Structure 1
C-alpha cells in the first residue's frame, strides 16, 4: 500500500522531465542541503507479510517501496525517510511502515 499526500500548501504533482526508475532515486533519512529541490509530496508506504511464508518486512524492503513510489512521481530523491517498527495484526503476519518526502532537484 502506498499513498502520496501533498505537502503543506499544494497538491502532489509529478516531475514532467524524465522517466525515473527506482534505481535512480536516492533515499536518505536526512535532508539534502547542498542542492536546491522542489517537493513533490509526502509518501507513505507499508510492507506486509501476508502469509507465514512471505519474507519478513525490513527497512530495506521499505526503502525499495519508497524508491518505487518516488520514481512514479519522477522524484530524484526521497528525503527525511522514516521507518516504523514491525508489528503483527489481524490482517498480517507482520508489517512495517515508511514515509518520506519525494523531491526533484532544480
Structure 2
C-alpha cells in the first residue's frame, strides 16, 4: 500500500471516529430465571413515570409485590471521547426499562464493571428484578 492510500485510510477512519463521538447507546432485555420472557404490551396509560420507580439493592419488605421479571441494561460508551458510563446512568436506564413494562420498583439492583469491547469503548451493566406492588 502506498503512502497516499494509507493517508486516505487514516483520514477516513479519523472522520468516522469523530462523527460517532457524540453518541451513546444502551440496550436491555428482560429475563426470568435465565429464560427470555414475553412481556405483554401495556398501554401508554399503564406505563409508569421513570422518576417514580424505586431502586434498591435489597428487598422491599414493607409492601407486598408481584415479580414481573428480571431486567438487565447495558450503557455503552461508543467512542473514546464520551464519558465513561456511571452507576447513575445505569440506574436511569433501569428505571426507564422498568417504567416501560409497568413496574413500580426494581429490587436487588447490582452493577457490573466497566469493560472495553470491540463495539464499545466502555460499558457498564445493571441488573435487577422488576416488581409491581399489590394494592
Please state which structure has a larger fraction of its residues in strand: 1
Is this contact kept in 2: 1:6–1:12, CA < 8 A? no
The residue aligned with 1:52 is 80
Is this contact kept in 2: 1:7–1:39, CA < 8 A? no
Is this contact kept in 2: 1:28–1:81, CA < 8 A? yes
In the TM superposition, residue 77 of structure 1 has moved relative to its aligned partner by: 0.2
**Residue among 87, 96, 106 paired with 2:115:** 87
The residue aligned with 1:23 is 51
The residue aligned with 1:61 is 89
Question: SS of 2:71's equivalent?
Answer: strand
Please state which structure has a larger fraction of its residues in helix: 2
TM-score w.r.t. length of structure 1: 0.88
TM-score w.r.t. length of structure 2: 0.70
Larger relative contact order (CA 8 Å, sep ≥ 6):
1
Query: Could you say which structure has the larger radius of gyration?
Result: 2
State how far apart, in whole Å, the 1-side matches of 2:38 and 2:122 are: 29
State how far apart, in whole Å, the 1-side matches of 2:33 and 2:67 are: 7
Give the 4+ runs in structure 1 shifted more than 3 A: 11-18
Please give the root-mean-square deviation of Cα atoms over the aligned residues, in Å.
2.1
In the TM superposition, residue 12 of structure 1 has moved relative to its aligned partner by: 5.1
Unaligned runs of 5+ in 1: none
Unaligned runs of 5+ in 2: 1-26
State how far apart, in whole Å, the 1-side matches of 2:38 and 2:108 are: 17
Question: SS of 2:46's equivalent?
Answer: coil
The residue aligned with 1:78 is 106
In the TM superposition, residue 13 of structure 1 has moved relative to its aligned partner by: 4.0
State how far apart, in whole Å, the 1-side matches of 2:88 and 2:80 are: 19
The residue aligned with 2:132 is 104
